[in-house]
Amino acid sequence: MGTEGADFRVIAGRYRLQARIGRGGMGVVWRASDELLGRLVAVKEILADDSLPEDDARRRRDRTFREARAVAQLRHPHIIVVHDVVEQDERPYLVMELIDGCSLADRIARHGPVTPAEAARIGIALLSALDTAHEAGVLHRDIKPANVLVESGTDRVVLTDFGIAQVEGATTLTETGSFVGSPEYTAPERMSGVRTGPESDLWSLGALLCTVLSGESPFRRDSLGGILHAVVAAEIRPPVEAEPLLPVVRGLLERDPDRRLGAAEAEWMLRVYLETGRTPRAPEAPGAPRGHRLGMGRPSKPVPHPSAQPGVSAPLSGAPGGTAEAASGRSSTRAVLVVALLVAALAAAGGSAATLFLNRDESGGGGSPGGTATTPSTGTGTRPAPPSSTPVPSRSGSPTPSRGPGTAPSGYRTARDPAGFSLAVPDDFTRSPQGERVFYLSPEGTYRLGVKVGTPEPGGPQAVMRGQAADGQVANPGYRDGRVTPTTHAGRPAALWEFTWNGYSATEGPRHTYDLCWEESGRLYDVWVSAPVGKVREAREYFDVALDTFAATPS
């Protein structure tokens, strides 16, 4: 580690600080020597903040001791070991085991996203650790890549930084008037103040899995208001890289905490993936809540349901499917969350965002460490969510649409096409009619946005898409991984066809296509986008904006 930032102070007559190895929102972590026992340790020093009122300074000090008490009662190979907590010059120090390695945040920043198998291994370790913590009545409340260490040599995954943990029966400690946590990894029910339970940590783990697989959080946006909206109300689209683990990710990112995937279920599903290469559906007993409450004991390992087969899990909340009663319950919950979102957004607009959240550390804690925004800029507003290989849920279920027919976001223009429709396309896209199809092409033709207007056919949109998929190889060389999924668009039955193919030449390379078909006003509309497989994030944005702004017009 060297001696950069070395201090060499001796704390409590025993721990000699050697080098700074990390820094967070509240303090510095030092590599230190325990001169009594002759071993290396990590010492977390809580830095003084003279700007804080006396009460807040006391809360910060109490928070350190709270972390020590929370972790000291936990014994698990994937949870950091706390050796001691000491005080010197009225400043607390937390003495922990020294992990020779780096955080997941640093690992992603240096080496990029991990493989699905590695993500599954990380998920299993963290689920096991959380299960132990929850059984002991401890909520972590800040699961994110910066708070997960990976030990060099062994690749052991270690959950650390219980600084804002909540212990059953203890009073929650926060700074005055603030919410403590990392918003991109915070569950919607915690964000809104409705409730906090073990399920909230599992949501955070779902977001973390998306981050380690793709390089950035699925809720990353350019503003606090954008993050709040993404977590609480916007359509959730896991990244395409999460496809192999999609049933787990979707289950953990279920907005209704009572329907969220439990730790034991998720761990079992990830183990099945490591053994078979395929992730099964989540086993569940009808009417039984998932997960477990604090202090209620460990749930038994799930027994696979006879009908459980490898495949894709049910749609996320707000997607088509489910009973009317369940949909009604989700709508009520969503309404409460949206109200809380608006309150939080107003507070942020008033300039108090810095105190609303955040424990953002220098490595991007609370953000997606090392991730780079690959989506083209659309101004200062909320950036559309990352893409996924999941069906496009009904857009009519969105509580507050961000745009509508004819409304082009910044960086786009409204194209009123003589073929009888209008939609928003990027400013630099040019129209290129090709027979019965109209294309809007990016410079060099990297992105191709196509629209076809026809007459309804027997069987509706699903039959049309299935017919095209059956002939996929004819029009799309190297056609593979194709699937047609029933969904809705603007409240109308629709079908989504998604596939990968080789492109029209070796120079062009493999491409990925999203294609949505629906009927409206006696016409059949087919809208699609095609892009290189390495640029599907941008393609999905163009696709979503086109669909969100699409309107039929007189030809």
Burial class (CB in 10 A: 0-12, 13-18, 19+), 303: exposed
The residue with greater pLDDT, 491 or 168, is 491
Q: Residues 449, 546: contact at Cβ < 8 Å? A: yes
Q: How far apart are CA 106 and CA 493, in angstroms?
A: 45
- List, in sequence order, every residue forming a beta bridge with 518; answer none if it has no partner: 494, 525
The residue that leads in pLDDT, 476 or 204, is 204
Say whether pLDDT at 172 is over 50.
Answer: no
- Report CA torsion sign: 274, 275, 281, 285: negative
Check whether 328 has a pLDDT greater than 70: no
Q: Which of 271, 309, 302, 272 is nearest to 288 (CA)?
A: 302
Distance CA 540, CA 440 (A): 15
Residue 194: the pLDDT is 67
Domain span(s) for CATH 3.30.200.20 in the chain: 10-97
Gap between the Cα atoms of 425 and 348, Å rounded: 31
Taking the model in full, what pTM does it have? 0.53
Which pLDDT belongs to residue 166? 54
pLDDT of residue 49: 63
Q: Contact at 8 Å (CB) between 551 and 414?
A: no
Does the pLDDT at position 59 exceed 80?
Answer: no
DSSP type of residue 219: T
- Could you please report the per-residue DSSP string of 27-57? EEEEEEEETTTTEEEEEEEE---TTS-HHHH
Count of CB atoms situated within 10 Å of the CB of 116: 22
Q: pLDDT higher for 110 or 395?
A: 110
pLDDT band at 272 (very low <50, low <70, confident <90, very high): very high
Express as a percent the part of the chain with pLDDT over 70: 69
DSSP single-letter state for residue 444 = G
Q: Quote the pLDDT of residue 85.
A: 83
- CATH 3.40.1000.10 spans which residues of the chain? 395-552
* pLDDT at 217 > cutoff 50: yes
Encode pLDDT of 476-531 as tens digits: 888 998 899 999 898 899 999 999 988 877 677 889 999 999 999 899 999 999 99
Cis amide linkage into residue 358, ω under 30° from 0: yes
Domain 10-97, CATH: 3.30.200.20
Note the pLDDT tens digit of each residue in 464-476: 999 999 888 878 8
**What is the four-CA torsion angle of 119, 120, 125, 128, rounded to 10 degrees?**
140
Instruction: Give the fold, CATH level 3, of 395-552.
Output: Protein Transport Mog1p; Chain A (3.40.1000)
CATH topology of domain 101-356: Transferase(Phosphotransferase); domain 1 (1.10.510)
Which residue type does 84 have? Answer: D
- Report the C-alpha gap between 553 and 490 in whole angstroms: 16
In this structure, the chain runs to a length of: 555
DSSP for 336-362 reads HHHHHHHHHHHHIIIIIHHHHS----T
Q: How far is it, in rounded angstroms, from Cα 216 to Cα 208?
A: 9
Q: Which two tokens stand for residue 396?
A: 């009519």
92 pLDDT band, cuts 50/70/90, is: confident
Predicted confidence (pLDDT) at residue 119 exceeds the cutoff of 90:
yes
- Least confident range from 131-140, 214-223, 454-463, 522-531: namely 131-140
Which residue spans of the chain are classified as CATH 1.10.510.10?
A: 101-356
The pLDDT, as a whole number, for residue 314 is: 33
DSSP assignment of 243-293 equals GGGHHHHHHHT-SSTTTSPPHHHHHHHHHHHHHHSSPBPPP--TTPPPS--
Task: Kindly report the average pLDDT of the chain as a whole number.
Answer: 74
